[in-house]
Chains A and B, each alone.
Chain A
Amino acid sequence: MTGDDETLLLLSAYADGELSPGEVLAMECRLAAEPDLRARAARLRGLSGAVRATLAEVPAPETLRGRIVRQIGFADPEPRRSRLGARPALAATLVAGIAIGASLGGIVPLGTAEAPSPVGEAVLAGHLRGLAAPQPFDIASADGHVVKPWFNGRTTIAPDAPDLSDRGYPLVGGRIDIVDGQPVPTLVYRHDRHVISVTVVPATGGAQAGEARRDGTFLERWEAGDLTYWAVSDLNARDLRGFVELYRARTARPR
């Protein structure tokens, strides 16, 4: 870092009141001695005032509050039975809320696919967060024998992580997602440029295998043993189904 860089940092932080007392003292001594520095400080102050006014000028739409209140308010009163009928009232409420929110504002489900459950929502959120992060995984490895043990001590589930690269679905790593307040393992695969997250949660019972679609992202769910698997991706439904069948075939073991 050059001296000028450092001065800029200090001056900016000084203007924000973020320097330690000692640094403030040093900066004030410098300001008293250096007219150039005083001019820079004045420019920064002027900029701050102008930027603040400019940023606040963006008009907030008056209809926003109404839309949000409707979106949330509708989610509240009457729990609707979901198609599967076995979900708790909260789930149905949220599903209804999402559906209505979508019809009002156009966020969510398209077509006929069923909206995801709360677990599905958490799984989806984990997937999207993974996409938004610099990497969709916490550990990068194409070796299932590295990824699987990595989950030990981090979650109570360590899923098999077969390498499916021979069929075009290379394993790229794993990460921890939080579902229902619990850390759960997620395997990350790639297919071309698409990311596939396989999140494994304890089976809650009642839920059948199924799929859901949300805003261009597909979720596939199935049970194996006492675990529920979720595969999430923006792959098209057919390729995702193919991946799921492949994954299930490779992880199936004789019982």
Chain B
Amino acid sequence: MTTLARARFSQLVLPRLDEGYRLAHWLTGNATDAEDVMQEACLRAYRAIETFAEGNARAWFLTIVRNTGYSWLQRHRPRAVIFAEDLAPEARAALDAGSGLAEAPETPEATLIARDEAGRLGRASAALPVPFREALVLREYHGLGYREIAEVTGVPIGTVMSRLARARQHLLERLAKDGR
């Protein structure tokens, strides 16, 4: 059994380590914690590998990394794990759509965001509440569809859709503000 498990682990998990690591990094916010989460996630994946029958190995592994990351946050930084529903009204308003668009640069060209803005974008992404950040990372970096994101994060598709829209809106507003 262990030979088989190891073979499957090599085939299913090892190729996805970097990808998993980046998710862990964006969840926990730093390299050391991301490595700890990855080690624990890989151990969990290894133990569960016999029960993974068929299907989307990528979503399966990312789910494990995501859940491990959440347990980690809960244990070490319980305040970081908040849900949109728990946000104070002002914070929610900040994530809401609307006002910021008027302040955005007028020409579309100006918003094809330049390379030197990447640092600001990275900081703005890191400052998003965890549920918005993870939706953004799973969509933009991992390229998952809404249905897959819903499975990985355990929320309805509609929630995924609104979290993504708000995360993007928030980033655009932040960039527009910083840019002036």
Q: How far is the CA of A229 from the CA of B125 in the complex (A)?
A: 44
List of A residues within 8 angstroms of B2 by Cβ: 75-76, 90, 93
Is the C-beta of B139 less than 8 angstroms from some C-beta in chain A? Answer: yes
Is the C-beta of A192 less than 8 angstroms from some C-beta in chain B? Answer: no
Judge whether B9 and A72 touch: CB under 8 Å: yes
- Of residues 58 through 78 on chain A, the ones whose CB sits less than 8 Å from some CB of chain B are 58, 60-61, 64-65, 67-69, 71-73, 75-76
Among candidates B75, B146, B172, residue contacting A131 with C-beta atoms closer than 8 Å: B75
A-B residue pair count with CB separations less than 8 angstroms? 162
Query: Do A56 and B141 contact each other (CB < 8 Å), given the known contacts A5-B97, A68-B14?
Result: yes
List of B residues within 8 angstroms of A174 by Cβ: none
Among candidates B14, B25, B75, B113, residue contacting A47 with C-beta atoms closer than 8 Å: B113
List of B residues within 8 angstroms of A105 by Cβ: 35-36, 39
Closest to A18 in B: B146
Q: In this complex, which of A16, A49, A125 has the most chain B Cβ atoms within 10 angstroms of its Cβ?
A: A16
Instruction: Report the minimal beta-carbon distance from A216 to chain B, rounded to whole angstroms.
Output: 8
Judge whether B71 and A132 touch: CB under 8 Å: yes
Instruction: Report the minimal beta-carbon distance from B8 to chain A, rounded to whole angstroms.
Output: 11
Closest to A90 in B: B1
Is the C-beta of A32 less than 8 angstroms from some C-beta in chain B? Answer: no
Interface size, A (range): 35 or more
Judge whether B21 and A60 touch: CB under 8 Å: yes
- Of residues 119 through 133 on chain A, the ones whose CB sits less than 8 Å from some CB of chain B are 121, 125, 128-129, 131-132
- Interface flags for A92-125 (1: CB within 8 Å of B; 0: not) read 0110011001000111000000000010010001
Judge whether A47 and B168 touch: CB under 8 Å: yes
A sample of 5 cross-chain residue pairs with beta-carbon separation below 8 angstroms, ordered by A number, consists of A55-B136, A65-B14, A71-B43, A90-B2, A118-B47
Which B residues fall within an 8 A CB radius of A?
1-3, 6, 9, 13-14, 17-18, 21-22, 25-26, 31, 35-36, 38-40, 42-44, 46-47, 51, 67, 70-71, 74-75, 81, 83, 96-98, 101, 104, 108, 111-113, 117-118, 121-122, 125, 136-137, 139-141, 145-146, 161-162, 164-166, 168-169, 171-172, 175
